[in-house]
């Protein structure tokens, strides 16, 4: 069941994340976790990265759920912590029906300590919002510690890895009423429309067959797949792209 209880607005932190709970600011997810777990409050965030978006939910000093791109739970946290500065917005939508992470923040942050020495700096810079079609904010990268710089792969490597898996996955999120929340990738509008219809039809099929539960749909083509399911925050999530790329997500959806 979705928890729709009213939530207190995020407390204004005294750290380098100048987050006021209303607009959007940029900061590191590690610092966000430290900051908002400390006040033992209830905070939901939408996180916008250069490539992927995510959500982070903190309750009583613990991160209870995270989503990032096609990942959720601990995998999402690990990727969020490595993702660099992200745009932070207060999440006012539905909360996850159940927690996917049970670790306290210190354990979570320990998990990335060997690879994320940048978390030890406890310094998070506020960066400017990047404009459309521009390269990532260079100053933040330049001042990153050596370990973080080593992790950055050359652009050629990244593009060849992407080419091996085919074009990027189109991902959309819709409210139950069909309003598009986020969308990225080729033909995102068409995928959003298809997802809305497929989700509605799947619900009718479930009702006709007398089966309860939220339907998840995987339509598989020769090389591409379309996945439509309800996300942990109770909206409709759809992904359309290479079946190989979507394999882990399909497996987690139990399809």
* Residue ranges in contact with another protein by CB under 8 A: 187, 190-191, 194, 197-198, 201-202, 204-206, 208-222, 224-226, 240, 253-255
Nearer to another protein, 115 or 253 (CB): 253
- C-beta closer to another protein: residue 114 or 210: 210
Considering the complex, what minimum distance in angstroms separates the CB of residue 108 from another protein? 30
Which residue, 100 or 225, is less far from another protein as judged by CB? 225
Structure tokens at 67: 């989503």
**27: burial class by Cβ within 10 Å (0-12, 13-18, 19+)?**
buried
**Is 146 or 254 the residue whose CB approaches another protein more closely?**
254
Nearest to 115 by CA among 153, 145, 76: 145
CA-to-CA distance for 68 and 80, rounded, in angstroms?
7
CB of 229 to another protein, least distance (A): 8
C-alpha distances in Å from residue 90, one per residue of 6, 167, 170, 211: 13, 31, 24, 36
Decide: 173 and 227 in contact? Cβ < 8 Å: no
Q: How far is the CB of 239 from another protein (least distance, A)?
A: 11
CB 221 to another protein: min, Å: 4
């Amino acid at each position: 069941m979705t928890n729709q209880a009213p939530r207190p607005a995020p407390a204004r932190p005294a750290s380098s994340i100048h987050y006021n709970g209303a607009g959007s600011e940029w900061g590191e997810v590690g610092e966000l976790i430290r900051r908002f777990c400390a006040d033992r409050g209830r905070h939901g965030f939408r996180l916008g990265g250069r490539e992927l978006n995510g959500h982070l939910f903190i309750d009583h000093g613990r991160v209870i759920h995270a989503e990032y791109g096609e990942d959720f739970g601990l995998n999402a946290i690990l990727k969020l912590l490595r993702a660099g500065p992200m745009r932070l917005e207060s999440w006012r939508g539905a909360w996850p029906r159940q927690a996917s992470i049970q670790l306290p923040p210190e354990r979570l942050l320990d998990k990335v300590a060997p690879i994320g020495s940048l978390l030890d700096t406890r310094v998070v810079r506020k960066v400017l919002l990047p404009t459309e079609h521009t390269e990532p904010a260079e100053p933040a990268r330049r001042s990153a510690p050596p370990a973080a710089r080593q992790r950055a792969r050359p652009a050629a490597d990244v593009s060849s890895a992407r080419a091996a898996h085919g074009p990027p996955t189109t991902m959309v999120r819709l409210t139950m009423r069909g309003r598009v929340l986020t969308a990225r990738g080729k033909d995102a509008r068409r995928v959003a429309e298809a997802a809305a219809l497929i989700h509605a039809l799947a619900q009718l099929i479930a009702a006709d067959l007398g089966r309860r539960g939220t339907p998840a749909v995987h339509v598989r083509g020769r090389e591409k797949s379309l996945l439509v399911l309800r996300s942990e925050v109770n909206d409709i999530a759809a992904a359309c792209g290479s079946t190989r790329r979507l394999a882990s997500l399909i497996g987690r959806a139990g399809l």
